[in-house]
Amino acid sequence: MINIAIDGPSASGKSTIAKLLCNELGYKHLDTGAMYRCVALKAKQSGIDYNDKAELEELLENIKIDFSSEGAVLLDGKDVSKEIRTDEISMLASDVSTKKEVREHLVELQQAIASNKGYVMDGRDIGTVVLPDAEVKIFMTADVDTRAKRRYLENKEKGLKSNLRELSQEIIERDYQDTHRKHSPLKKADDAIEIDTSNLTINQVVDKIMVIVSEVLPKE
């Protein structure tokens, strides 16, 4: 078994593709963005000032993030899969992810999880920081309009209301923040393969990655 790292900007299709790859390969999916979202939700719920180092460290010491076997995201034992997907938490997650303490804490957890191999992990710094030795690294992109439309449809499916123009604006803001932060900014690893998914179907993207994976997987 190998590990597969998928990085890219928000709404570029990373999670959707990661889940399908896991089905194909019988691997496990780790959505690292969901972990940053959990930190953001907990900060909001407990009303802490995450710019205060001591308050933030206490939050991190007490946070428990798990994934159920069905893929639900559990924060301190409670299913928060829906709550972490709001536009407000998206922006807050991008904000808390700029904090060094948060990154160090979550990266350590992510590396421990992936040490057994057989993971498809998606995020912003997987190929560069979390799993620099991942056997396959993909950098997934798509233009802003395509990504905003995808998020809009995704929200609609989940029964969440959103506005296309606001979504585009939010994506542009998050792109800026995620690529310009001091600690582990979003960037393509030198050895990652870039795939622009703007004009590709989901199946086309999965097929492309499966070809790359099959070249790396040890032959039986």
Measured distance CA(150)–CA(44) in Å, rounded: 26
Closest approach of ligand DC to the CB of residue 126, in Å: 6
Query: Could you say whether residue 175 binds ligand DC (CB under 6 A)?
Result: no
Whether 96 contacts 43, CB under 8 Å? yes
Region binding ligand DC by CB under 6 A among candidate stretches 31-39, 50-58, 61-69, 198-206:
31-39
Task: Map the footprint of ligand DC across residues 117-136, applying CB under 6 A.
Answer: 123-126
How far from 184 is each of 75, 180, 192, CA to CA, in Å?
Answer: 24, 9, 16
Query: Could you say whether residue 93 binds ligand DC (CB under 6 A)?
Result: yes
Region binding ligand DC by CB under 6 A among candidate stretches 28-36, 49-57, 58-66, 146-154:
28-36
Query: Could you say whether residue 162 binds ligand DC (CB under 6 A)?
Result: no
Query: Could you say whether residue 13 binds ligand DC (CB under 6 A)?
Result: no
Judged by beta carbon, residue 150 or residue 215, the one nearer ligand DC is 150
Closest approach of ligand DC to the CB of residue 175, in Å: 9
Two tokens at 11? 């709404």
Measured distance CA(154)–CA(148) in Å, rounded: 10
Closest CA to 43 of 51, 220, 120: 51
